[in-house]
Structure 1
Amino acid sequence: MLKRMFVAPDPGRVRLRFAGRAVLGIGSAVALCGLAGHSLPGAVTGGLAALLALFTVTDATVRGQAVTTALLPVVGLPVLALAAGLHAQPVARDLAFLAVVGVGVYARRWGPRGHSLGVFAFMTFFIAQFLHAVPGQLPELSAAVLLSVATAAAVRFGLWCYERRLPPPAVPAPPAGTGLARITTRQAVQATAGAGFALVVGHLVSGQRWYWAVGATWWIFVNTTSRGETLVRGFRRVLGTVIGIGLGLLVAVPVDGAAVPSAVLAAGCVFGIFYSAAVSYTWMMLCVTLLAELLYGLLGVLTPGLLALRLAETAVGALGAALAVLLLLPVTTHAVTDAWIQRALRCVHACTAEAAARLAGTEGADPAPRVAELEALLGRVRLSVAPLVHPLNPMRHRKRRARRVLALLDECAREIRGLVAVAADPEASHDARLAAACWRVEAAVEALTGGGAVPERAEREHAAGPALAHLHGLERALAELAAPLRTRTPLGLDQG
């Protein structure tokens, strides 16, 4: 886990920029809330709003990101008002919370914008429970949200808009469907049921901190699709919380709410959350847990007993998520994994075709966006296969097959990147052998995704140029993928 965190590749230092900008944006938002005379609860609310504005907005274009950011308060402030207004009516408040959970997850069917708005709606309701907000606090809390989102936007789109200098990220949509066959619909039902379980049991554990259990269930469902992914994410959330609590006993409890060290440590936690999010959910949860402990220290309620309670509520939330995905409209790991692998293979062919067209001199041919899409799809494949390659998975044969598939897909990506780099060279020219090699790649992809026979790859020419060498490497990787992908046992945790 430690090695993965610090040696994971960071092309273009995107993760480093992501984390650095977050510290600047959130720190500026909290500072401005303080200068505006807001209380500590107002500053905490503003800091969370800025964090969400910088963390959850993932539209493919800068313009799309700006529109989504502008919509966050439009969705969040009515939810905040609802949560505060129902503070004295526990039953109505709890039912409203579950409704926000269901609608927030269902909104993911509308892509990154729906996802961002759903998360913001949920977290504004959550922060109202965290701060025990009442209607009299609404003007201050609402002003803090507006000020902080505006500050985060000024940093993201003005002061530090590194996206303008990078290709827009490709955000693959989940596999499609209709009705209950649509994954987002099933997840909305599952998340609402899991959150209902967490809410009831969380109340039994603590009448004051029950919302921690609901929050744990919610975040376990974020960015997962199958039941295997959800179970692994739940395990990692509990593990990150345990480690974070242990670290909190050594760091947050001794600090005891002192302003300056708490602020410095909180900035470090924010950096860790953003820097680790793409590579390690466990590390991210460690940082989230420590940040929450520091905030409770500032509020003057941090004790070892409170940390033990947080662990118990997190375990309840993880159990709720696990029961929901196992018993209610389950989405199998094999079905999801197969869908992502097929999309990745089709993207491999699209990348190859674009690169070949570029080498042939076709005007407008640009494989770079396809490469970005391929990287995003491979990220989804890794997430989907994570349950199978997890150290606790006892099915060693499937684990070996899954690792082999991942290795060969990574090899395809490396050859594609090399091919695209060659195609970008203005000195590169079309070779007659490229057309034949591209045809074989197309045929191999069609065979792997359609069930036909994978064509035999040609012998590698001794005098092959760089582009042809990459195509031969791609042919070899695709040919070797046939065996692990066509084994009769499903490539997943499930049998169907």
Structure 2
Amino acid sequence: MLKRVFVAPDPGRVRLRFASRAVLGIGLAVALCGLVGHSLVAAITGGLAALLALFTVTDPTVRGQAVTTALLPVAGLPVLAVAAVLHDQPLARDLIFLAVMGAGVYARRWGPRGHALGVFAFMMFFAAQFLHTVPGQLPELYAAVALSLCASSTVRFGLWCYERRLPLPAQPAPPEVRGRLRVTTRQAVQATLGGAFALGIGQVLSDERWYWAVGATWWVFVNTTSRGETLVRGFRRVLGTVIGIVSGFAVAIPLDGAAVPTALVVAIGVFGIFYTAAVSYSWMMFFVTVMAGMLYGALGVLDAALLWLRVAETAVGALGAVLAVLLVLPVTTHAITDAWIQKALRCVHACTAEAADRLAGSTLADPAPRVAELEMLLGRVRLSLAPLVHPLSPLPARKARARQVIALLDDCVREVRGLASIAADPDASHDARLSAACSRVEAAVEALTAPEGPRGFHLPELPGVAVDPALAHLHGLERALAGLVSPLSHAPRAAATNA
């Protein structure tokens, strides 16, 4: 499984650059904290700030990323101060922690910037629990966060700003399901109640390390929109943590906080977190757990009992998230999946229309951004369908349909990508038959996204081989859309699910 993660496709080596830049940026931040004489606690806080800035800030433009990074201290430092002041007031501390959790999830309605600021605020409160922060430490921690953000920003926006050559498409907004509260409102309520459960049970397990349970609930909710996605993500979080704990026994405990090997393993952990995040949540959690174990070793508090407590707290946090999505304002996997598929299909049509206009001679039409958006939407469809294609899924018929949908949408992306590539050629000719083919694609998308389902849609007979390359891609696209009729006709529609 690990081999599959590290040989997964990496177009443009974006994941490799992402991970390598993270190691450089975070390493520089921690090194500078050490050079100016900050304590280990401050260096860890600064390193966490740099990690969050490089990991969570995903605005589609470099300018937007810079603005969001500059706003991180505005969101996080007041929360850090509140957490430190409430260190000895458990009831007030717990209530504020849950409030920060709910507000952080709710902030996702403002897109990537709201998401990044919400995560940073939550993790500052979490870090205060992890490091037992008290008010007297705040000046040093503030200085460490500011220095680390400057260091990581120097790497991100100065030394290694690959986004200027490889612009990132905007993250697709979660689809709104009819008859429900807004996604961010629903998830804020779920996360707060799930966090309350995790906090209570977590404190029964440990009155010192209970925050791991709340943190597990928080991260299970990130990038999930249905109960099925949350179930799978909770399972993967526990799995990754258990594997990481086993490695902790083999690596973290024997090293016992030795400076040089600890720094090396932490650097490997940072690389692994960033490199695997897009392809495997379990392996990302493995690297997070190994890194956390090394930090506990550096702080001099690591032992076998602590590692097993980490597993128990993580399981409690995952259970809190699962109970919340099952019992509080639940949204089915089918409803969310249907909404994501419809967004992807509409994007297919938009890509095709842009490419056809470009081939017709329009200088304003550009299908490339639409293709990037379509690839991201396909990633969301895969995430939404993950519960159905999971090896432990007890529904073989639905699993087969889900796999068929993924394969056919893959075909759509491939054909659209090829069509866009041809359209980018200034010497490409416009075949009159392209207009008719584009009209058929539009009709197919309208049929597939109709509230009553795609029944009654039939693909006209097409020639076996199209001489014109653009027309060949359009015919391939038509065949893929026609193939979607059967699996989507048998799937429950969102409207029916919400009735």
* TM-score, normalisation: structure 2: 0.97
Does the CA contact (< 8 Å) of 1:213 and 1:314 recur in 2? Answer: yes
Structure 1 residue aligned with 2:259: 259
Structure 1 residue aligned with 2:15: 15
Q: 1:172: how far off? A: 0.3
Q: Secondary structure at the match of 1:225?
A: coil
Give the one of 443, 450, 458 matched to 2:461.
458
In 2, Cα distance between equivalents of 1:441 and 1:386: 27
- Counterpart of 1:289, as a letter, is T
Residues 1:314 and 2:321 aligned together: no
In 2, Cα distance between equivalents of 1:258 and 1:239: 28
Q: Percentage identity across aligned positions?
A: 75
Greater Cα offset, 173-182 or 388-397:
173-182
Structure 2 residue aligned with 1:477: 480
Does the CA contact (< 8 Å) of 2:444 and 2:481 recur in 1? Answer: yes
Q: 1:3: how far off? A: 4.0
Q: 1:163: how far off? A: 0.2
Structure 2 residue aligned with 1:190: 190
In 1, Cα distance between equivalents of 2:179 and 2:465: 55
Does the CA contact (< 8 Å) of 2:256 and 2:298 recur in 1? Answer: yes
In 1, Cα distance between equivalents of 2:406 and 2:459: 22
In 2, Cα distance between equivalents of 1:461 and 1:483: 22
Structure 2 residue aligned with 1:215: 215
In 1, Cα distance between equivalents of 2:412 and 2:154: 39
Does the CA contact (< 8 Å) of 1:167 and 1:369 recur in 2? Answer: no
In 1, Cα distance between equivalents of 2:337 and 2:473: 26
Matches within 5 A, 1:81-480: 81-176=81-176, 181-450=181-450, 451=453, 453-460=456-463, 462-480=465-483
Q: Secondary structure at the match of 1:59?
A: coil
Q: 1:490: how far off? A: 5.8
* TM-score, normalisation: structure 1: 0.97
Q: 1:154: how far off? A: 1.1
Does the CA contact (< 8 Å) of 1:443 and 1:455 recur in 2? Answer: no
In 2, Cα distance between equivalents of 1:375 and 1:249: 40
Unaligned runs of 5+ in 2: none
In 2, Cα distance between equivalents of 1:463 and 1:391: 39
In 2, Cα distance between equivalents of 1:194 and 1:276: 27
Q: Secondary structure at the match of 1:260?
A: helix
Q: Secondary structure at the match of 2:476?
A: helix
In 1, Cα distance between equivalents of 2:409 and 2:465: 25
Structure 2 residue aligned with 1:53: 53
In 2, Cα distance between equivalents of 1:180 and 1:463: 46
Q: Secondary structure at the match of 1:181?
A: coil
Q: For the structure 1 residues 72 and 473, does the alpha-carbon distance in structure 2 shift closer, same or farther, using more than 3 Å as the test? A: same
In 2, Cα distance between equivalents of 1:350 and 1:73: 39
Q: 1:166: how far off? A: 1.1
Q: Secondary structure at the match of 2:485?
A: helix
Q: 1:177: how far off? A: 6.7
In 2, Cα distance between equivalents of 1:460 and 1:184: 47
Q: Secondary structure at the match of 1:486?
A: helix
Structure 1 residue aligned with 2:71: 71
Does the CA contact (< 8 Å) of 2:29 and 2:50 recur in 1? Answer: yes
In 1, Cα distance between equivalents of 2:81 and 2:32: 23
Q: Secondary structure at the match of 2:341?
A: helix
The Cα offsets for residues 188-228 of structure 1, whole Å up to 9 and x where unpaired, read as 00000000000010000001100000000000001111111
Aligned residues: 495
Q: Secondary structure at the match of 2:37?
A: coil
The Cα offsets for residues 88-113 of structure 1, whole Å up to 9 and x where unpaired, read as 11111111100000100011111111
Q: 1:460: how far off? A: 1.9
Q: 1:84: how far off? A: 0.1
In 1, Cα distance between equivalents of 2:473 and 2:302: 57
Q: 1:148: how far off? A: 0.7
Q: 1:2: how far off? A: 2.1
Q: For the structure 1 residues 410 and 108, does the alpha-carbon distance in structure 2 shift closer, same or farther, using more than 3 Å as the test? A: same
In 1, Cα distance between equivalents of 2:498 and 2:378: 23
Q: 1:250: how far off? A: 0.6
Q: 1:36: how far off? A: 1.2
The Cα offsets for residues 330-350 of structure 1, whole Å up to 9 and x where unpaired, read as 121111101100000000000
Greater Cα offset, 176-185 or 225-234:
176-185
Does the CA contact (< 8 Å) of 2:356 and 2:434 recur in 1? Answer: yes
Unaligned runs of 5+ in 1: none
In 1, Cα distance between equivalents of 2:466 and 2:397: 40
Q: 1:457: how far off? A: 3.0
- Counterpart of 1:54, as a letter, is L
Greater Cα offset, 384-393 or 47-56:
384-393
In 1, Cα distance between equivalents of 2:153 and 2:464: 54
In 2, Cα distance between equivalents of 1:387 and 1:112: 25
The CA RMSD measured in Å over matched residues stands at 1.6
In 1, Cα distance between equivalents of 2:304 and 2:170: 43
In 1, Cα distance between equivalents of 2:83 and 2:28: 27
- Counterpart of 1:356, as a letter, is A
Does the CA contact (< 8 Å) of 1:58 and 1:113 recur in 2? Answer: yes
In 1, Cα distance between equivalents of 2:179 and 2:445: 30
In 2, Cα distance between equivalents of 1:391 and 1:177: 27
In 2, Cα distance between equivalents of 1:100 and 1:177: 26
Q: Secondary structure at the match of 2:484?
A: helix
Does the CA contact (< 8 Å) of 1:457 and 1:475 recur in 2? Answer: no
